[in-house]
Structure 1
């Protein structure tokens, strides 16, 4: 390969700019054809991505079959019109579904984490891989493995939660589900782990801000999920935008070379995030110009640049001037080509358009999305058994709030435009339940997510007054402006004004100072509460909400996060008791933003309380209510004394003591009573989701050995220290049974 051809393999421009879709036909652009002729491009990003950023709409975008045909046209041209005939690597966004028109929109990762159902998530990943590969996408930029430390951060919704063990288990499921038994399979795509690393611990919760973290914590917490995913065979990884201790991740050789490749044995491809190399010269300011930034990042271990702009402009000149070693260029090109071979692109570069039409958005995938949503919704409060509502007794239901019937607001960020009626809102879900009695479900938007407009209050109060039960659907929005009109607050009707209202208060780049509800939502709820009706609050949002008034005055509270396209049906199932809540929090919910950070696995030494209140969250990690009750008993640890390399078995009986079938999340925590270096008060080390019939008892067992007991000790090495460990098992991080396990230098001594 020539130097130019090697560099070309490392460049990934925006794929939606490679073609025009006119009158139902795909026409490749002249710029794209010229780049192919020069060997100046080896991959495309977001070829099928549709959203306001790309400018691709339902009208200009591609159907599932057309998307596959477009990718085939691109591949065919690249293979037939370049000197070496190397197929392209097509990379797509698939955090909670393929971000293409027609793709199934699953709940956001925060819901998936709250489901605690690893097997179900693995099934979802398999389904997403099927939809993506059916259109020719071969790499996904997911899963997001960031550990959330400050939920003011707008990308909290893209994460599984605040615990590294839970994230690690889901990371492995993502690798196994997406990549399957063979990357060359028609049902497989290569995962890209992101964002490597500590992106969720930025200063002040501001996106891409500096990270102030000790090396021990980095190794023990934030790197753990990535290590687990690499051990599972992850094919690609993406460094984060942030710096750690003054070194941007994009050029951090210790992270990219020493740990990732040297210690973990990673042999896949490393790709930057979009614009990350630019930040080295204009943001981090660790490079004098773009050429130095491009060369340094390649030398540090980067193989491909998303957007391709800096590599395309500067790598050849840097090489010609002796500022870029040939060995680094060869290494990067080799890794990219190896991934293409592993994906089977040389043998099978083309997609099956007919299959794409069958697989994408299938009924099976929609059912999976509904189940994930139902299992990930968390019941936070249920005063006086306000839920479930009994259909024959609950009377008229008023569904009120800005998120009651706004489909985009329940999808989260990184979603494509949706045709009318495809997203089931809470209103639509309840209307479907009462299809034979439509007069029993009333609706008024009341207000918007953001803004001070109260002109919808009169209609909302009038509607609530007619009802027996009020379901307030409030929260946030990560919906980009799709230009599809807004809602008339005075009538509740959808209108097109020419100026679409953007309610976005969460999502990438949307970080907040507060965790309160935006706009006048709280005021609306308070006015409705004065009517004396049963008040059910449903949160649809991308980050925790801290509203003490609602915690005190609502009869019941459901935290649904962004539940995806089938979320409205899932929430209706839960409200009416057709499903039993089994979601458990994977992120601690504070009473007040001033308590942050409140993550459960903090150090013992972090202090007791503030003057105004204690430091405990409103709702702790692992918490969630059910329509039944679970009892734990007969906890045993055998053997009670083990050596540093030994293993004990923990067993506990769990009983469904209520009258409804349900699923309990049994959680295992470890607490080291004394250690050479400080450790968290308790750490999650195991969990199992257990289905139980009324009155049924099951015995749950966990293995506790090196993986559960080790930590980063002297010399930053993993070690199991002798001593006494508390073993805690229960239904949340604060509701557990307790036993002791002793580790001695000689087992049984």
Structure 2
């Protein structure tokens, strides 16, 4: 039969199979029920549910969501969940039953969450995307995506709902942690790397999964930073900023895309034909799968209120370009009836089914539908992947303040860092090297000496789930390294004192006394503050007097970030600030480590702490990475990908706003506390000899930008060289500066390197008056430096005409 012939093109196989299917079988391919409800796991035995078997027998099952997912939302725990081997075996049992007991033997598409690691028990938990962006290391991120794809596919997952390509405009939004930052160019570079890493050279490889780009589009620009709120954005900004990362990822070959919950100018993304048909499929030529977010079709009738009921919502969605519904609640109920009653043309249904089937063929599911339990056991959570997680965390940590060389601390055991070598960049100036931050030999400035003590204090000092971020599976305690664990690994337990002091939220000060007593005995205090995206994993709460975990009758949630957790303030929750102020009165060197999912606005801490590290949610190896930075085994090289406001009242404060946005408020200027691209090092760098050659080009020519960067300090370190462009005058208002290239390089003391970028139409163009890309003749400023407000400047002139003409 044609559809079973692997030598035939995917489109031909899908078309043939489609012609054999009943209406009910077609509709079943477009729904994605929850996968964890398809099996039961009791005493090590996996059995398929009767409901799953019934659906297979009646219509077949097209797809399952989160078959391997475990977290409080699914209700899958460490006890009831599946080990890496068991997960692969369960997938095989489901696939085997579906293939052998359905009329046409169509395998199931299994979609999994992989925002910062495969969301299954035992899988590696990498830093959250906000951390990954802060590393400014595209190659290292691509390597991580390869690891995530391997862990996911080895267990049977074939499509992942990542990367998140939303451009953050208001960090009060709880999903800020899931995004790379506020700059579309940087996000685009990581978007391409994500697709390349997840999908590999062949989708059918047992080391590859299909990437789903989300959330399409404008989701990070919601009104008031409220999740899924309306988006007020003109088409020019949409085309130029929010759509850019998606366009680049589609060009890189992404096979799936997920519309956002929000509306834009009154039209929900779930039914926005201008976005899905005119731009995505028309202008960009996307031929992959479009799948909704969970509950998005229901929102059309109860939320957006643009549909009369579920039937109307389903017809609108599939007619607008939706191919599959996550959860299947509406499509499963209404599609067959919609066709039979003439409310939906069967051709529209067929179009969606064709796309689903084509993706299954491209993934090689008809030839190899089964997972490899041995591979799952070998690769999921491997030592190699943990080492990669540690390196990513270390490269993403940002040193925001280091008064008087407080850091690095002396007295550590040393030896954790690993020197790396830089490699050449691509012509676009992106970070193509695999540079690692050089180990700097445990050199320390701040005096705890060979026998001194460090007090590690704060609600995030030893709270495992708090450093993992949202979309995380249940964890064995032994698999997570907290900051307390990391510091103990450097100094030995006998030299490290610990007290939580307080919780993330709540007004209890019962732990203050113990924290102050702890700090009093120490030479240096490391306070680990911030936020939490941890859902209720049944771990109970913490005894503020002893620091021990305890199970209580009513669980305590410290969650102040994550999906659906938006805030009106960027201040620390609870009494954390008060605890820091009390500790400061002791007169000890005070190092603050933030573990959190969005910037923190606390002027007192920024003024009084001697050093500040931003670690975001650094993943399961985060404690080692923080300790590597604290004790100088790794030189910090993370840089901000999101502007850090002085106060929430400044928002929006993203760096690439329009020139006309105004300069100050009555109380303060409009500049952020820490600008985009900012981050300190334990060494210093100088920039010189910025050149643009030639200084005049036509729109179809390119210019070469070179700059000399020198390590002027005494330690090996990595610098993120950033290229910005400013259009001096344009027919449409433009941002004052826009990132158009970056490169992460590692330099030894006294070493210098010429860094090169190429500038052409892609870097100089913008969306013009006719909503088309244009490079206007005129003057441009080329800016290169260590962050957006610390740059050298040169001129570039774009002349009329094209090469070889007047």
Match of 1:430 in 2: 487
Q: What is the match of residue 318 of structure 1?
A: 338
- The alignment partner of 1:605 has SS state of helix
1:7, 1:40 within 8 Å by CA — same for their partners in 2?
Answer: no
Cα offsets for 1:168-196 (capped at 9, x unmatched) = 00000000000000000010000000000
Of 395, 403, 407, which aligns to 2:460? Answer: 403
Match for residue 350 of structure 1 among 358, 366, 370:
370
Match of 2:651 in 1: 596
Map 1:272-671; keep pairs closer than 5 Å: 272-391=292-411, 393-394=447-448, 395-435=452-492, 438-671=493-726
- Find the aligned partners of 1:679 and 1:40 in 2 and give their Cα distance: 53
SS of the counterpart of 2:744?
strand
CA contact (8 A) 1:447 1:455 kept: yes
Residue in 2 that maps onto 1:123:
143
- 1:33-182 counterparts in 2 under 5 A? 33-182=53-202
Partner of 2:37: 17
Is 1:235 aligned with 2:255?
Answer: yes
Cα distance in 2, alignment partners of residues 641 and 343 from structure 1: 48
CA distance in 2, matches of 1:464, 1:325: 71
Counterpart position of 1:742: 797
- Confirm or deny: 8 A CA contact 1:50 1:57 kept in the other structure: yes
Residue aligning to 2:766: 711
Secondary structure, counterpart of 1:69 in structure 2: helix
* DSSP 3-state at the match of 1:298: helix
Residue 483 of structure 1 contacts residue 499 of structure 1 at CA under 8 Å; is this kept in 2? no
CA contact (8 A) 2:397 2:636 kept: yes
Residue 674, structure 1, aligned to residue 729, structure 2:
yes
Q: Deviations over 1:139-191 (max 9, x none)?
A: 00000000000000000000000000000000000000000000000100000
Q: Secondary structure at the match of 2:257?
A: strand
SS across alignment from 1:581: coil
CA distance in 1, matches of 2:236, 2:405: 45
User: Once the 2 structures are TM-superposed, how far is the Cα of residue 249 of structure 1 from its aligned partner?
Assistant: 0.2
Tell me the SS of whatever aligns to 1:309: coil
Q: Counterparts of 2:208 and 2:295 in 1: how far apart (Å)?
A: 28
What TM-score, normalized to structure 1? 0.99
Hey, what's the Cα distance between the residues in 1 that align with 2:721 and 2:59?
55
Aligned length: 747
Q: Contact 2:161/2:211 (CA < 8 Å) preserved in 1?
A: yes
Work out the CA distance in 1 between the residues paired with 2:135 and 2:200: 22
Give the aligned partner of residue 739 of structure 2.
Answer: 684
Secondary structure of the structure 1 residue equivalent to 2:190: helix
Distance in 2 (alpha carbons) for counterparts of 1:71 and 1:493: 38
What whole-Å deviation, never above 9, does each CA across 1:452-484 have from its counterpart, x for those lacking one? 010000000000000010000000000000011
Superposition deviation, residue 501 in structure 1: 1.7
* Inter-partner Cα distance in structure 2 for 1:410 and 1:358: 26
Q: Secondary structure at the match of 1:421?
A: helix
Query: Which blocks of at least 5 consecutive residues in structure 1 are unaligned?
Result: none
1:261 is aligned to: 281
- Report the CA distance between 1:497 and its aligned residue: 2.0
Q: By how many angstroms is 1:499 displaced? A: 2.6
Instruction: Look up the match of 1:251.
Output: 271
Check the 8 A contact 1:40/1:312 in 2, yes or no: no
Distance 2:345 2:589 in 1: 70
TM-superposition CA deviations, 1:234-286 (whole Å, max 9, x none): 01000000000000000000000000000000010000000000000000000
Asked whether the equivalents of residues 104 and 360 of structure 1 are also in contact (C-alpha less than 8 Å), the reply is yes
SS in 2 for 1:351: coil
Shift of 1:714: 2.2
Give me the whole-angstrom Cα distance separating, in 1, the residues matched to 2:59 and 2:697. 61
Q: SS at the partner of 1:287?
A: coil
SS at match of 1:228: helix
SS at structure 2 position matched to 1:101: coil
Partners in 2 of 1:421 and 1:434 — Cα distance? 19
Deviations 1:675-724 (A, max 9, x none): 00000000000000001111100000000001100000021000000000
Whole-Å separation in 2 of the counterparts to 1:111 and 1:282: 35
Query: Is the CA contact (8 Å cut-off) linking 1:665 and 1:689 kept in structure 2?
Result: yes
- CA deviations on 1:390-438 (whole Å, 9 max, x unpaired) are 1164121000000000000000000000012211000000001123xx2
Hey, what does 2:27 align to over in structure 1? 7
Q: Deviation of residue 40 (structure 1)?
A: 5.0
User: Is this contact kept in 2: 1:163–1:586, CA < 8 A?
Assistant: yes
Equivalent pair of 1:212/1:245 in contact (CA under 8 Å):
yes
Distance 2:639 2:380 in 1: 30
CA separation in 2, counterparts of 1:134 and 1:104? Answer: 13
Q: Deviations over 1:620-643 (max 9, x none)?
A: 000000000000000100011000
**Which residue of the partner structure matches residue 18 of structure 2?**
none
Q: Secondary structure at the match of 1:237?
A: strand
Following the alignment from structure 1 to structure 2, what is the Cα–Cα distance between the partners of residues 41 and 221?
38
Partner Cα distance (2:219, 2:194) in 1:
19
- Out of 681, 684, 695, the residue aligned to residue 750 of structure 2 is 695
SS at the partner of 2:757?
strand
What SS does the aligned partner of 1:714 have? coil
Following the alignment from structure 1 to structure 2, what is the Cα–Cα distance between the partners of residues 324 and 464? 69
Contact map agreement 2:60 2:98 (CA 8 A) in 1: no
Q: Secondary structure at the match of 1:571?
A: helix
Match of 1:225 in 2: 245
Cα separation, 1, equivalents of 2:153 and 2:788: 39
What does the per-residue CA deviation read over 1:63-119, in whole Å, with 9 as the maximum and x for residues that have no partner?
A: 000000000000000000100000000000000000000000000000000000000
2:52 equivalent in structure 1: 32
CA-to-aligned-CA distance 1:329-371 (integer Å, 9 cap, x gap): 1110000000000000000000010110000000000000000
